[in-house]
Amino acid sequence: MRYFVALAETLHFGHAAARMNMSQPPFSRQIAAIEKTLGVRLVERNSRNVALTPAGQHFLADCRAVLEGFDAACRDVRLVAGGMKGELKLGFMMHAAHSVIPALVRLYSEARPDVRLILEERIPTDIEEMLAEGRLDAAVTFGAGPAPHLRTQLIARDRLCLIVPAGHRLAAGEPAGPQSLAGERLIAAPATVAPTLRTAIATYCASAGITPHFAFEPRLQHTIIRLVQEGLGVALIPQSLCGDLAEGVVARLLVDAPEFDVVLCAPRAGRNPAVPELFAVAGRA
């Protein structure tokens, strides 16, 4: 096809052959071979003139399109392999959507505009499973225990703070400690959804010898806040969610507040070459 395009552009066998870095005889034979395999006369030639037939005209346009597609495919596959292009499936737990995800996505999209970020908002346990199965390339989640098969990088540290309805006995005064939670109806996501948070809450209570009483166990942090707003209990939620609380809800600092990591993680065996830049961006964020 390149031979034919060269011939069509020069209309001269010798010059076209030179452009293809070969001598004229094999070039002529190649053109003849193309015509034979196609069973179609592409160029009308005598020893003095070379002209395209109508079929040749049409074929020229098609050849250019095919060759351009071919070259683009070869170029793109290198970009994909270099992580400059392609797709990246990024999972994240819901509350990260309100803290690190927006900045991370923005920075990454600036660094890799041709990588299509596919955002998957899931609960932490699902994220873990999807990472293991390769259905996610990377994820932003809680920093759980050491996971040897995961590359992990700290993005942020967060801490729990207490939210109570306005007018609640803990809504003012000294910062609350774990013992303040005695007798309170707690609202928290179930352990199957966010084990890290749940464990942190349980440990915090246990440090004061308290057995927490969970009145409701919704899955979404926003639901928790709403329930607190309605006076149905109190909750310990990540501080990053306390920025713009609804009316009627008060956030309080906790004494010795439980802290936890928000990390970016990806399978070490992951093959997506677009992932490393995500860690680079996360390090700068």
Partner DNA sequence: CCATTCGATACCCCAAAAGCATCAATCGAC
Partner DNA sequence: GTCGATTGATGCTTTTGGGGTATCGAATGG
Stretch that binds a second copy, among 71-79, 121-129, 143-151, 209-217 (CB under 8 A): 71-79
118 is a site residue for a second copy (CB under 8 A):
no
Stretch that binds a second copy, among 24-32, 39-47, 195-203, 216-224 (CB under 8 A): 39-47
239 is a site residue for a second copy (CB under 8 A):
no
What's the closest the beta carbon of residue 273 comes to DNA, in angstroms? 20
Considering only 15, 18, 24, 76, the residue that binds a second copy (CB under 8 A) is 76
Q: Which is nearer to DNA, 22 or 119 (CB)?
A: 22
Q: Which does 206 bind (CB under 5 to 8 A by kind): a second copy, DNA, none?
A: none
Q: How many binding residues for a second copy (CB under 8 A)? A: 33
Considering only 101, 139, 272, 282, the residue that binds a second copy (CB under 8 A) is 272
87 is a site residue for a second copy (CB under 8 A):
yes
Stretch that binds a second copy, among 158-166, 198-206, 260-268, 269-277 (CB under 8 A): 269-277
Question: 182 CB contacts (<8 Å, ≥6 apart)?
Answer: 208, 210
Stretch that binds a second copy, among 80-88, 189-197, 205-213, 236-244 (CB under 8 A): 80-88
Chain centroid, CA 111 distance in Å:
13
Q: Which residues, 133 to 172, sit near a second copy by CB under 8 A?
A: none
73 is a site residue for a second copy (CB under 8 A):
yes
Contact 137, 275 (CB under 8 A): yes
Q: Which is nearer to DNA, 43 or 96 (CB)?
A: 43
63 is a site residue for a second copy (CB under 8 A):
yes
Binding positions for a second copy, rule: CB under 8 A: 1, 38-42, 44, 53-55, 58-59, 62-63, 65-66, 69-70, 72-74, 76-78, 80-81, 85-87, 271-274
